[in-house]
Amino acid sequence: MFCLIGTPVGHSGSPAMYNYSFAQTGLDYAYLAYDVPLEKTEEAVNALKVLGCKGFNVTMPCKTRVAELVDELSDAAKLIGACNTVVVKDGKLYGNNTDGMGFVRNLKENGVDVKGKKITVMGAGGAATAIQVQCALDGAKKLSIFNRKDKFYANGEKTVKKIQQMVPDCEVSIHPLEETDALYAAIKDSDILVNATKVGMKPLDDQSLVEDVSVFHPDLVVADAVYNPKETKFVQSAKAAGCKVAVGGTGMLMWQGAAAFNLFTGKDMPTKEVYELFFK
Ligand code: NAD
């Protein structure tokens, strides 16, 4: 048995995606979703161990708590301070975070390698932190983080410190998103520009954080973490401005699931079929 924990989980597409993939791969496994509030996280994790669960995904609000409960954390999960995938082996819990892996893999599928690249990331929440950490671990040369001066800004400052300690070769800094001139200068100097804020997601789907589209240069790779809608205003305007690659968040979502499937089973998810059935 595998499962998802967190709340709400009733809307999640994960059970359908994993159960289909298990069947296609010839694995006699089942994937369920359990609604677990934050204060019940520890009890739920202990129960899953007793029940012989082989692995589980974690969604909000339990990701940070689970990172405190596992026996071992991957480098990415340690830096991010949150787990979205846990493998149970011989009674021990191994915590991972596949969000950033999904982001990097999706870019790779679009012909883009983050190694040696200058990357501007707007956002300092969960998705942004995972992207920033994985890009640093995978050899990004420079990371410029921009976030508005809200409660997430301090989290961005922490991420900068952690990356400086663990990945000293990556030049990393954070700036207020309100400093538009600094943002546009960073974009002009970047190979890759990422939106990992909630801007662009419903109900903010009529907005983009880049209002002056003249900063979208043709060599710029543009990626959004937002997958609802599939193509945000940010991605649409980058495409219209002629950016060579401009992708929405759907690919990141599928590839983080594929990375978790691989950790759970040691096998590859049938991503072509999964994409056609669940993400197109
Ligand atoms: P979060 O709540 O952890 O962080 C929210 C971020 O959005 C913060 O940086 C915050 O400052 C910023 N923000 C919110 N409103 C803003 C505004 N009006 N102007 C400027 N910035 C604003 O959320 P999260 O979990 O990081 O999710 C962010 C987005 O990424 C969501 O749309 C989510 O669905 C998406 N996401 C996608 C994937 C994927 O696999 N594609 C994975 C995780 C999250």
Ligand 1 neighbourhood includes 102 CB (under 6 angstroms): yes
Give residue 244's pLDDT.
87
The model's pTM: 0.96
Q: Whose CA is nearest to atom 17 of ligand 1?
A: 199
User: Which residue's C-alpha comes closest to atom 14 of ligand 1?
Assistant: 198
pLDDT for the residue 75: 94
Indicate which residues carry an active-site annotation. Answer: 63
For 181, 219, 232, 236, the CA distances from 242, given in Å and listed in that order, are: 22, 9, 16, 10
The contacts of residue 213 (CB under 8 Å, 6+ apart) are 237, 238, 240, 241
Give the residues of the chain that fall short of pLDDT 70: none
Pocket test for ligand 1, best of 197, 231, 274, 275 (most atoms within 8 A of CB): 197
Strand, coil or helix: 14: helix
